[in-house]
Structure 1
Amino acid sequence: TKATQFFRSVYENHGSRGSKLILLPFNQASAKDCGSLVAHIYQQLKLDLDFVIPFGAISVVGPTLADIDSKSELAHRIMLTNTYRILGKIIDYKRAQNIRTRPCLAMLPLSPNHGTMGGDGLYAEAKLGLEALANKWHSEGWEDYISIGGAVIGWTRGTGLMAGNNIVSAGIEQLGVRTFSQIEMAFNLTSILHPRMVAAAAKAPLWIDLGGGMAQLHDLKVQTDRIRAAITDESKIRRASVDDRKKDSVGTTPEDEDDKPVLNRANMHNYYSQFPDLPAASDLARLGKDYKGMINLDKTVVIVGFGEVGPWGNSRTRWEMESFGVFSLEGCIELAWVLGYITYHNGPTKSSGDHYIGWVDAKTKDPVADTQIKALYEENILKHSGIRVVEPELFDGYDPKKKMFLQQVAVDKNMRPIEVASRDEGLEYQKELGEENCDVFELD
């Protein structure tokens, strides 16, 4: 799966000597899975947890206090109830094994949204419930086994929970609230795993505010609705303006004028084609004068160019993989073209008939933007590049796994006769092996 490939690449690029990456199927909505996961870690793998990051969640949009549904309850169980269960099981195993000097740091996903956005079911209740663990740490007597690092996660663009609000992010930032990309927030969260933070959390629960000022915007719901409505109105106005211009243009274009204008050439991005510096004519003339009469041009090998062809393509794409371990957009474009996934097109498209200049899919002939090539073809490019086993479909069915090997065997006594189809075939064997080593006779 893509998830497995992602984690494998993370391990290959960042795993240190002796490290292991263990992936297990897990459903945080299942109480049984919560118990089985912790039991597997402590009983089967014989490991002890240093960190636990229970970030499982599902998006709930719409339900208010008056119409809480089963999905809201499911989300609450994932984000709160079963998070408690996981931490409780860790405490049980640590206590049973008397592991008191290495508390597990639980990074809790808190939120500045305590009902200010509304229409999100029991989301706020789940986050408030997680905040209660900071008080339970002092009162319930498990501070030797679990330490708490509560991260107040602000407006993070592009996540599953906030995908529906991406469109209003720019407007929210104009109100003074800092929004974060997924990479920015992930980087901030990793700081909680620093040894100094771990040592501080062992003394008392930590409250890490990464909210970006979101908690200070008390009318967040009102402002979000206002921004969304303004965007919707602007979209309607622009759509109406475009439709109006189309209606105005009807009948104004001369009949002999092509109403399908040539589109601009597709963006070539950072395409590069290096070419060596050629010597000037004067340099060549001087060189020829020095060696005149000494070289037989009829027998001289002249190198007019050179190039590299290998498992990773040419020198440019090979260097990208060797130095960075990943192809750039330009590298993917070049290899997709070399492998025959895309072709360059200059003319009317197959689907609409519009004139198009740029890349098209080799099979469907549909236009493909440069920015889409890496996402569409990189997986197949990686499958068919690099050092790999011969692919039979690319070599007329030749399969190295089915290759026949011949082994020489010394025969020190006469073998039993074998029957062949005809006398002529027997004579062929005799010719190959010699008359002294092979007799041919007909059966009665």
Structure 2
Amino acid sequence: PAPAAEAAPAPAAEAAPAPAPAAPTGGPSGADVADLPFTASSAIRALLALSAKIRIDEVGATDTTESLTNGVSSRRNQLLMDMSSELGLNSIDGAGEADVATLSATVDKAAKGYKPFGPVLAEAVKERTRKLFGAAGVKAARIAERVTGTWQLGAGWAQHVTAEIVLGTREGASTRDGDLATLPVDAPTNSAGVDALIDAAVAAVAAREGIAVSLPSTGGTSGGGVVDSAALDAYAASVTGEDGVLAKTARTILSELGLNAPAPTGEESNDDARVIDAVAAELGSGWVDLVEPRFDAARAVLLDDRWASAREDVARFATEGTLAEGASFVGTGRAVAEQASYWANRLRAEGDANRADRLAQIAVDASSSAADLPFANDVAVVTGMTPASIGGAVVGGLLAGGATVIATSSSISASRLAFAKELYRTHAAGGARLWLVPANLASYRDVDALVEWIGTEQTKSVGADVKVTKEALVPTLFYPFAAPRVSGTLADAGPASENQLRLLLWSVERSIAGLCAIGSDTHADHRLHVVLPGSPNRGIFGGDGAYAEAKASFDAIATRWAAEPIWGSRVSIAHPRIGWVRGTGLMGGNDPMVAAVEAAGVRTWSTEEMAQQLLKLSSAEVRAQAAIAPVNADLTGGLNSSIDLRALRAQVEATAPEVEATEPVATVSALPSPSQVTVPHVEPAQWGDTSASLADTVVIVGHGEVGPWGSARTRVQAELGIHTDGTVDLTPAGVLELAWMTGLLTWSDTPVGGWYDKDDQLVPESEIFERYRDEVVARSGVRFFHDDGPLHDGYTPESAMVFLDRDITFTVEDEAEARSYADADPQFTVIEQTAFGEWQVTRKSGAQVRVPRRATLNRRIGGLFPTDFDPSRWGVPASMLDSIDPIAVWNLVSTVDAFVSAGFSPAELLRIVHPATVASTQGTGFGGMRSMHKLFVDRFLGEDYPQDILQETLPNVVAAHTMQSYV
């Protein structure tokens, strides 16, 4: 009798995409259940499910080989050959037309001597069990051992369970409905996991056959006894457990060799806990995240294309009259000068003197030299460059002066990069460059990494060539504007204040010391000119955290300059005390008080006005003075402690007018109006006389495409509506089409006609545009790679050659397979037959083997089809999607779209035009790339691949199949 505890539960680590049936414990014991023969009809059903990529329960009695292969003759013929080969029959009468019920009866009569498995299923079992059980070191024979031994079921059950494991662990979706997997698809890593998978397969077979079966229970009268699993676990623990005999022996040997490690005492973990608690108490619980490094040299962005954007600016100004205020064309080159001169002459001839004069001046500026600009030879480091900030305005001024600017940003988001691009385009002179570098300046590690990156040449190997991507730079100017959001009173002194000081003060000092040391061995007389943005704020605002203390400390930096020559000898300092600047991140909240403050006699500044004052402190004259002693500058505008800001704030709040409530405007729920496209009217007479015969004239009536933006319609909308910041203007029709293409919306006539989302909830048409616009844009266009085919998580699989450092032995199916390994490398291969009749192959030390590895792509961004773009929306059957190459699928979709754009169906076309005069032009690229992968790579690796795969690798076959399907 077998105890009920024998069934080994699946370990918790075994993840499964689909829940596996638990091993039943009720119902008749396996010993009391009749055998379930695996007949010829059982083999046919398994073959049909395997070939058609459906679950075995989806093989219907009325299905035929024709319907299961979608009428693809090559697949049908292969399936018929497989069935004959599996059953050992020369042919099966009527197999091509008979339904499954009729076919099952036929093969059961014709192949009464069938013994599972035949060559086809045996190969499928071998390949699948090798992948499933290889990691656990278990052989396929384990299935029969557990089913007939532990479960005490018949041999037929073992064969059904084997087929169930092969079919039920396939990955992917069924071509009919749902997933293929009915069992866990992940390979078990130990024998317990294998047993759990077998138990789940037994339960699945029993459920499908309607038979109740359970593991034999203790006290039964069936054959030999089974060891109690609890006793077995206890025995295993005594041998292989943490305190088992093997572990004790290993510790003894290590001790004798003097290699034993001290036993853990738990003090290490206690020490770690004390450190964590101390950091949280002294620096705050979020301190680790606050100082997390963000510097990444690979993400640094260089903007140096003013020579190109200047040409576009000239063209836009000449044709549209738009030009950014303050745009510089100095030193942009001869091509820009010639373009501007051309447009100036043309506009002057047309009578537009104002624009012509401006273009003539642009031509003069473009021809001039950028070397005469005030900052042409400077390398400036600016931290805290953000929109509506002094730092951003200073960067603009430096770029206009021809400088190379290195600006830091806590993160390079799309909006921050768009801001940098616009700032560069509207301010940079020819030769000016802007580096945008991600860095967390609250992290000393990032400060040091940034300094090292600035002073080090960056290179990239391209084949045999080494390309310099950034030369070593020696900074000459430093503007530290980086600042956190500050808040808190003196009573709040603690972690928050200390962390504010870290960015406002300590990182500034560390940056000065690091930047001034660059070039110390190559530029002996070099000085880094630092413009310290001081402030008259010594607490006059109140509630601004450590800001006042940090700015007061800048006075100390200027004083230490003379007392600490170790860094002061390579630094010059200008120390302006900056007053009230309107509209910045720090002062913007006080903007309602500007009028009252100015009435009290205080001057306020705009960011541009303040930037101009600070740039003057970087002139050659000021630098010469600062090399002797720090230069102080009063830019306070009269802002000092004598101004009672609390009283002014109270006055402003008391006199602020009340906001009158307004009635909301009544609106109607409706879609936005589509844009109207007008086409100029052309009179037939404008074509003139033509000599070509109408019989020889090619008439293009339709165009279809699929690409990163979906169809041609949505692609044109995206091209015309895309902005430099990454936003895209799509019409409501474009948003709806992309949402439909990618499965976000589906039309249904029931229960109410309309568009339904993935949760089958009706979406009002008036809400579609706003709800799905951002989603479809994020799924389309040029973007980060996502998993697609062999591409997973930004990597592609490769194999690397390695040499074994010890003998490796594995078991193979038979002698022939073993000898094939020996013949391939006889010097390092030994084969032998074991006492149990199995054949083993030993690869000797020094043998070459290939192991898989993930190869990192050198690019992470590209043009991909829209995420979840579903060809079945165009009527391509799901079974065809998995059976033909994606190139063929996309050609079918493009052809369907071409007919849609033409406005008629293939049948309507052929009623009027003879097929001999119908043609199509298709883009088939290099051919079926995924099919080529299967033909060459999968075949090399021994993976399963369709026998008719060759035809799908040929571009002309793809085009011919598409043309034949519709014409």
In 1, Cα distance between the equivalents of 2:767 and 2:595?
Answer: 34
Contact 2:707 2:865 in 1 (8 A): no
Shift of 1:130: 0.8
RMSD: 5.9
Q: Which amino acid aligns with 1:53?
A: Y
Q: Which of residues 386, 394, 416 in structure 1 aligns to 2:869? A: 394
Q: Is 1:26 the equivalent of 2:501? A: no
Aligned to 2:678: 275
The verdict on how the C-alpha distance between 1:222 and 1:310 changes in structure 2, with shifts beyond 3 A counting, is farther
Shift of 1:127: 0.9
Shift of 1:212: 5.6
Q: Which of residues 339, 342, 357 in structure 1 aligns to 2:735? A: 339
Shift of 1:145: 0.9
Superposed CA deviations along residues 363-406 of structure 1, whole A, max 9, x for unmatched, are: 749xxxxxxx89x9876666579982334622537767962228
Shift of 1:144: 3.6
Aligned to 1:419: none
Q: Is 1:117 the equivalent of 2:541? A: yes
Superposed CA deviations along residues 385-441 of structure 1, whole A, max 9, x for unmatched, are: 9982334622537767962228999xxxxxxxxxxxxxxx99xx9xxxxxxxxxxxx
Superposed CA deviations along residues 290-340 of structure 1, whole A, max 9, x for unmatched, are: 99xx99999999999x9x99978677864676xx8457x8xx433575233
Contact 1:116 1:221 in 2 (8 A): no
The SS at the match of 2:496 is helix
Contact 1:100 1:144 in 2 (8 A): no
Contact 2:454 2:473 in 1 (8 A): yes
In 2, Cα distance between the equivalents of 1:339 and 1:377?
Answer: 7
Provide the identity percentage. Answer: 24
Instruction: Give the paired residue count.
Output: 352
Shift of 1:147: 1.9
Aligned to 1:70: 495
Shift of 1:218: 2.0
Contact 1:150 1:208 in 2 (8 A): yes
In 2, Cα distance between the equivalents of 1:318 and 1:67?
Answer: 53
Q: Is 1:48 the equivalent of 2:474? A: yes
In 2, Cα distance between the equivalents of 1:158 and 1:23?
Answer: 25
The SS at the match of 1:78 is helix
Q: Which amino acid aligns with 1:76?
A: L
Shift of 1:5: 4.2
The SS at the match of 1:49 is coil
The verdict on how the C-alpha distance between 1:298 and 1:219 changes in structure 2, with shifts beyond 3 A counting, is farther
Contact 1:58 1:160 in 2 (8 A): no
Q: Does 1 or 2 have the higher relative contact order (CA < 8 Å, sep 6+)?
A: 1
Aligned to 2:586: 161
Aligned to 1:127: 551
Q: Which amino acid aligns with 2:478?
A: V
TM-score (norm 1): 0.54
Aligned to 1:222: 647
Aligned to 2:965: none
Contact 1:57 1:79 in 2 (8 A): yes
The verdict on how the C-alpha distance between 1:319 and 1:200 changes in structure 2, with shifts beyond 3 A counting, is farther
Gaps of 5+ in 1: 247-259, 344-357, 366-372, 410-424, 430-444
The verdict on how the C-alpha distance between 1:391 and 1:106 changes in structure 2, with shifts beyond 3 A counting, is same
In 2, Cα distance between the equivalents of 1:186 and 1:381?
Answer: 40
In 2, Cα distance between the equivalents of 1:32 and 1:362?
Answer: 45
The SS at the match of 2:475 is coil
The SS at the match of 1:111 is coil
Aligned to 1:351: none
Shift of 1:179: 4.8
Superposed CA deviations along residues 60-106 of structure 1, whole A, max 9, x for unmatched, are: 32404x55343223323432234223323445x35963743221122
The verdict on how the C-alpha distance between 1:193 and 1:389 changes in structure 2, with shifts beyond 3 A counting, is farther
Contact 2:780 2:867 in 1 (8 A): no
The verdict on how the C-alpha distance between 1:390 and 1:320 changes in structure 2, with shifts beyond 3 A counting, is closer
In 1, Cα distance between the equivalents of 2:637 and 2:540?
Answer: 15
The verdict on how the C-alpha distance between 1:296 and 1:160 changes in structure 2, with shifts beyond 3 A counting, is same
Superposed CA deviations along residues 31-68 of structure 1, whole A, max 9, x for unmatched, are: 5654565456557976533333333322332404x553
TM-score (norm 2): 0.29
1:21-420 alignment, distance < 5 Å: 21=435, 23=437, 25-28=439-442, 30=443, 34=447, 37-38=450-451, 47-64=473-490, 68-91=493-516, 93=517, 97=521, 99-141=523-565, 142-156=567-581, 159-162=584-587, 164-169=589-594, 172=597, 177-180=603-606, 201-202=626-627, 205-207=630-632, 211=636, 214-215=639-640, 218-231=643-656, 234=658, 238=660, 262-263=666-667, 273=676, 275=678, 278=681, 318=719, 325=724, 332-334=728-730, 338-340=734-736, 360-362=767-769, 364=771, 383=782, 388-391=863-866, 393-396=868-871, 403-405=930-932
The verdict on how the C-alpha distance between 1:6 and 1:200 changes in structure 2, with shifts beyond 3 A counting, is farther
Shift of 1:6: 5.4
In 1, Cα distance between the equivalents of 2:698 and 2:929?
Answer: 42
The verdict on how the C-alpha distance between 1:391 and 1:169 changes in structure 2, with shifts beyond 3 A counting, is same
In 1, Cα distance between the equivalents of 2:613 and 2:675?
Answer: 37
Q: Which amino acid aligns with 1:129?
A: S
The verdict on how the C-alpha distance between 1:168 and 1:392 changes in structure 2, with shifts beyond 3 A counting, is same
Contact 1:111 1:153 in 2 (8 A): yes
In 2, Cα distance between the equivalents of 1:166 and 1:189?
Answer: 22
In 1, Cα distance between the equivalents of 2:780 and 2:488?
Answer: 42
Contact 1:35 1:89 in 2 (8 A): yes
In 2, Cα distance between the equivalents of 1:82 and 1:89?
Answer: 10
The verdict on how the C-alpha distance between 1:215 and 1:403 changes in structure 2, with shifts beyond 3 A counting, is farther
In 2, Cα distance between the equivalents of 1:154 and 1:318?
Answer: 46
The verdict on how the C-alpha distance between 1:215 and 1:296 changes in structure 2, with shifts beyond 3 A counting, is farther
Contact 1:392 1:399 in 2 (8 A): no
Larger Rg belongs to: 2
In 2, Cα distance between the equivalents of 1:189 and 1:377?
Answer: 45
The SS at the match of 2:646 is helix
